Structure 1
């Protein structure tokens, strides 16, 4: 995104137009998530379907379940999670690691605690355009050491997708997306450009800070901030402790969205077809008929 190189001064910073706290709820098998996008207050923020901050402890997790029509981005903050699917792909992601999974026409997988203690992370669901909903599933995975990271003037950024402070992620995003993990030291000030036509939001993880305008009130952890129009985000850490948050932006698809749990298509007819495909093991779900994860079978991963 060349806009990140335009200037150190934003001409039209984005204001915070909506703010609410993500409260804990139960999901999966014994998992706790703070869901901010994908709940009743905010069903969809084009192109984003769900944002969960999850917390799980063994043996809890997300057992065998299907997806179609979108991508999941899992970013680990603490601990480790094992993943396996009916295509034979399996592995473990640990703190700082990233998995960008394109479900496409269909995948059945599981995500479970890999170690003792509490595993924490973020999972973002990104919608796919109609032309990409039925592509073959694939993965992009980065270990923490391979995630681009830059620190300057009290601002550190880990570039999950897109570009910031001159660093660029190798991740390819079918739906154009930026995903940046910022840590601001006390007294630090950030100006981060965002493509003008993209939707964008902030999700706060630790500490407290000011976003959008220097006159805004302090925002603490576990808050979602929807940003309005403008050319970028301005943020300040006026506290005595580090401030950590993610900034996510994406190009809106502008297409109809029909969602039925883990299936996201453009029409009700496509959803009905997806349910039939899954129930009858056809059109991308053929391997689901004979497959169960090792965790479900009680085997050691």
Structure 2
């Protein structure tokens, strides 16, 4: 057995139950994203609300916009993005860095590309339970060097959240989550355990791999693969090129989801209240009165 976690012989392999190609669409100001979770074919996968693979060149980007009720996880694959919010938090996320932002009761921020050419990455939206939706915003930021990694038998993993190959991430996941970035050399095979009660999926970044069972058809870049029940995922790279993908899983919240763009709550009344709070700069949006990104 190569890579991943050690699993018992009576483990139940997760198979691919759904495969969706992330097609380009326009978002923000002139930006193009490939949305996999959050599109008509796959509205959500509790606790995940959205996954975008973005490729943005200046002057396009994501200017000032609000969030409430969930978390955004931005993982830079190439280039850099600057972010700043109405509470004075600002910085630059570079290749290999992660920003884990808990929007909670309210954030207004901007996310704009830095430098020449295309800036690429993934942004995941993770829902928060009703008890956590109105908490104070917070950030967890990891530079590339802080993200723990492990390598064995042609399998390399970067552990953004959760645990793999005995390596554990320091990220605190309010909604229990795993977020693993795997690269498999040609011919490599890996197993990774996943808590049985969690929902999970794979997003292929580059290359081509066989997921779930040896006789399943290969999946290539820009596909999201929803995994069925079980407690372990098997992956093979039968191709002549490296395979890179993220494996993401989370504990379902099992609560109603009412979404209005960047606001995600449990009821329509809460959404109406959020729109009012945003419009009148109150209940978490006070700083919006006098703020604009620079």
TM bucket normalised to smaller: over 0.9
What is the match of residue 271 of structure 1? Answer: 271
Q: Secondary structure at the match of 2:279?
A: helix
Could you tell me how far 1:276 is from its partner in structure 2? 0.2
What is the match of residue 230 of structure 2? Answer: 230
What is the match of residue 212 of structure 1? Answer: 212
The answer on 1:245 being equivalent to 2:231 is no
Shift in alpha-carbon separation, 1:10–1:120, aligned structure 2, 3 A: farther
Gaps of 5+ in 1: 295-301
The answer to whether the 8 A contact 2:85-2:108 is kept is: yes
The answer to whether the 8 A contact 2:278-2:285 is kept is: yes
The answer on 1:43 being equivalent to 2:43 is yes
CA distance in 2, matches of 1:288, 1:39: 29
What is the match of residue 113 of structure 2? Answer: 113
TM-score (norm 1): 0.95
CA distance in 2, matches of 1:131, 1:87: 23
The answer on 1:14 being equivalent to 2:11 is no
Q: Deviations over 1:193-233 (max 9, x none)?
A: 00000000000000001000000001110000000000111
TM-score (norm 2): 0.98
The answer on 1:140 being equivalent to 2:140 is yes
What is the match of residue 290 of structure 2? Answer: 290
What is the match of residue 190 of structure 1? Answer: 190
The answer to whether the 8 A contact 1:10-1:232 is kept is: no
CA distance in 2, matches of 1:47, 1:99: 18
Could you tell me how far 1:115 is from its partner in structure 2? 1.2
Q: Deviations over 1:96-146 (max 9, x none)?
A: 000000000000000001111110000000000000000000000000000
CA distance in 1, matches of 2:42, 2:193: 24
The answer to whether the 8 A contact 1:56-1:120 is kept is: yes
The answer to whether the 8 A contact 1:81-1:111 is kept is: yes
Gaps of 5+ in 2: none
Could you tell me how far 1:48 is from its partner in structure 2? 0.2
Q: Deviations over 1:46-99 (max 9, x none)?
A: 000000000100111100000000000000000000000000000001000000
Could you tell me how far 1:6 is from its partner in structure 2? 5.2
What is the match of residue 123 of structure 2? Answer: 123
State the 4+ residue runs in structure 1 displaced beyond 6 angstroms: none
What is the match of residue 254 of structure 2? Answer: 254
Q: Secondary structure at the match of 2:179?
A: strand
Q: Secondary structure at the match of 1:209?
A: strand
Count of matched residue positions in the alignment of Structure 1 and Structure 2: 291
Could you tell me how far 1:7 is from its partner in structure 2? 2.4
What is the match of residue 65 of structure 1? Answer: 65
What is the match of residue 175 of structure 2? Answer: 175
Shift in alpha-carbon separation, 1:38–1:182, aligned structure 2, 3 A: same
The answer to whether the 8 A contact 1:33-1:54 is kept is: yes
What is the match of residue 84 of structure 1? Answer: 84
Shift in alpha-carbon separation, 1:10–1:182, aligned structure 2, 3 A: farther
